[in-house]
Amino acid sequence: MRRQQIERESPTIYPQTAQVDAADEHFGQKVADPFRWLENDIRGDPAISAWVDAKNSISAPYPAGLQGRDVFRERLAALFDHERLTAPEKVAEYLAPVLGHAIYFHRHGTEQSEDRLVHAPEADLPMIHTADLTADGRYAVIYSTALTGGNGLAVADLSTSNWPIWTEIDTFDHTWLVAGNIGTKFFLSTQKGAERGRIVTTDVADCEAMFVELIAER
């Protein structure tokens, strides 16, 4: 009876990861952090750059050999290759203001010229707007910041064709975040009157925004 020799693949040899003598103390307990050096900026640390290159030399050949990789690359490029706005740039001693920022609705597969304007409030201050959807898909939640640390809040009802917008918060002194909603009742997390945060509710169907505390600051 012949014995068959089974050839085994050579085990992967990973690059050595240096450890340093670093630790923090939390509540009287010393916690070692030997890999803290990996938190440095790769752009300015040759050691991290070399470590990453060594890791990539092991992992990169596998995805490079997968079939259909070019198809995914082309599709992702088509989805994400669009105009982007950068953060304000410092000019001399001042920040270049971001004026005229707005929220548009873009339907996939249509031209940018067909985008629908959703929210563009007039403001004398530089403003940045971001948008999110509630879990039920009915409301668009628009956060507006004047770059002062807080944010305003507006809600657009997407269940009607004209998408009416209600401004719930028109100041920018505190943080307001939508935690969820049940119909028109919204649950908001805010630091207004509570440094560590609290939860309040409001009904966006009301003519005037009224806030009722649900969970007090702890």
| Residues 150-198 pLDDT 10s | 999 999 999 999 999 999 999 999 999 999 999 999 999 999 999 889 9
Number of structural domains found in the chain: 2
Ramachandran region, residue 121 (left: φ > 0; alpha: ψ -120 to 50; beta: rest): beta
- For residue 187, the model assigns a pLDDT of 97
Does residue 170 sit within a domain?
Answer: yes
37 falls within a domain: yes
Residues 191, 135 within the same domain: yes
Give the residue from 181, 180, 123 showing the smallest Cα distance to 152. Answer: 123
Q: How many CA atoms lie within 13 A of 202 on its CB side?
A: 23
Greater confidence, 6 or 30? 30
Name 135's Cβ contacts closer than 8 Å, sequence gap at least 6: 180, 181
pLDDT at 77 (0 to 100): 86
Three-class secondary structure of residue 4 per DSSP: coil
Residue 20 forms part of a structural domain: no
202 and 148 within one domain: yes
- Would 187 be classed as within a structural domain? yes
49 and 119 share a domain? no
Tell me: do 55 and 136 sit in the same domain. Answer: no
- Which whole number is the average pLDDT over 197-201? 95
Mean predicted lDDT score pLDDT of the chain: 86
- Distance from C-alpha of 167 to C-alpha of 174, rounded to nearest angstrom: 15
Do residue 58 and residue 160 come from a single domain? no
What pLDDT, on a 0 to 100 scale, did the predictor assign at position 2?
A: 43
Of 38-42, 72-76, 86-90, 118-122, which one has max mean pLDDT? 38-42
* Strand extents, DSSP E, the chain: 23-26, 29-32, 90-91, 94-95, 103-105, 116-119, 128-133, 139-145, 152-157, 165-169, 176-182, 185-190, 198-203, 212-215
Domain annotation covers residue 183: yes
Question: 195 and 110 in one domain?
Answer: yes
Query: Is residue 61 domain-shared with residue 119, that is, in the same domain?
Result: no
Beta strand 185-190 with 198-203 is antiparallel
Is the separation of the CB atoms in 103 and 85 below 8 Å? no
The Cβ-side half-sphere exposure at 93, using a 13 Å CA radius, reads 0
Note down the domain range covering 118.
98-215
Contact (CB, 8 A) for 166 and 155: yes
Whether residue 211 sits in one domain with residue 106 = yes
> Exposed, middle or buried, 153 (CB in 10 Å: 0-12/13-18/19+)?
buried
Same structural domain for residues 142 and 205? yes
Query: Is the distance from CB of 52 to CB of 42 less than 8 angstroms?
Result: yes
199 found inside a domain = yes
34 in a domain, yes or no? yes
| Residue 10 DSSP class | P
Residues 75 and 114 in one domain: no
Residues 106 and 73 in one domain: no
92 domain-assigned: no
- Is pTM beyond 0.75? Reply is no
On whether both 36 and 122 belong to a single domain, the answer is no
57-97 pLDDT tens trace: 998 888 888 888 888 888 888 888 877 766 655 555 544 55
Query: Tell me, what's the pLDDT at 114?
Result: 92
> CA angle at residue 145 from 142 to 150, to 5 degrees?
110
CA 23, 28, 31 angle in degrees (round to 5)?
25
- Reported for 158-161, long-range contacts at CB under 8 A and 24+ positions apart, including other chains, are none
Of 80, 113, 148, at which residue does a domain stop? 80
